[in-house]
């Protein structure tokens, strides 16, 4: 049996700056959301998911960073469920339209599985923000906590 050390460090370093997508999936009590993305056709726009079917406006500093890293690469955006926000109103600029698919009450938190197009994302929010299954909501990311990975090598590029 061959054992290979991938990353050594204190838990928060591994959580915040995983060396690759395997470490990102391994660390954390709720699985990280990994979303294929590409740079959009207009400034401050990215196309999310494998088919690029969902376009959203992003902060200019994230857009510029992603544009620099995309240089011929396919990228994957990593967002942990606790860095997603759910809103009761219809999606506006910079928000994704989502449907509450499942909800699991965890005491003071609720774990939601949200359908965006044909893809599912997980979000963890305080239990005082309660949405029922079947409810249409909008979704935003805390962009300062986004991780970027190279899709081909699965290596961490940026956060």
Give DSSP secondary structure letters for 100-144.
EEEEEE-SSEEEEEEEETTEEEEEEEETTS---TT-EEEEEE-GG
SS3 82: helix
pLDDT tens sequence across 72-112: 788 999 999 999 999 998 767 778 999 999 999 999 999 99
Higher-pLDDT residue of 5 and 65 is: 65
Does 52 have pLDDT greater than 70? Answer: no
Do 122 and 154 form a contact (C-beta atoms < 8 A)? no
The ranges assigned to domains in the chain are 11-158
- pTM of the full structure: 0.88
Average pLDDT value for residue range 3-25? 84
- CATH of span 11-158: 2.40.50.140
**Tokens 């989502």, residue located:** 98
């Amino acid at each position: 049996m061959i054992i290979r050390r991938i990353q050594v460090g204190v838990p928060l370093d591994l959580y915040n700056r995983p060396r690759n997508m395997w470490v990102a999936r391994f660390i954390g009590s709720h699985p990280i959301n990994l979303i294929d993305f590409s740079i959009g056709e207009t400034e401050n726009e990215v196309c999310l998911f494998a088919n690029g079917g969902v376009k959203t406006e992003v902060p200019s500093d994230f857009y510029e960073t992603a544009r620099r890293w995309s240089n011929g690469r396919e990228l994957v955006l990593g967002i942990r469920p606790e860095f997603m926000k759910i809103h009761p109103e219809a999606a506006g600029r910079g928000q994704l339209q989502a449907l509450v698919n499942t909800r699991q009450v965890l005491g003071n938190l609720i774990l939601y599985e949200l359908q965006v197009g044909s893809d599912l994302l997980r979000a963890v929010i305080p239990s005082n923000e309660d949405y029922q299954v079947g409810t249409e909501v909008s979704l935003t990311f805390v962009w300062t906590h986004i991780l970027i990975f190279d899709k081909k090598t699965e290596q961490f590029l940026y956060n």
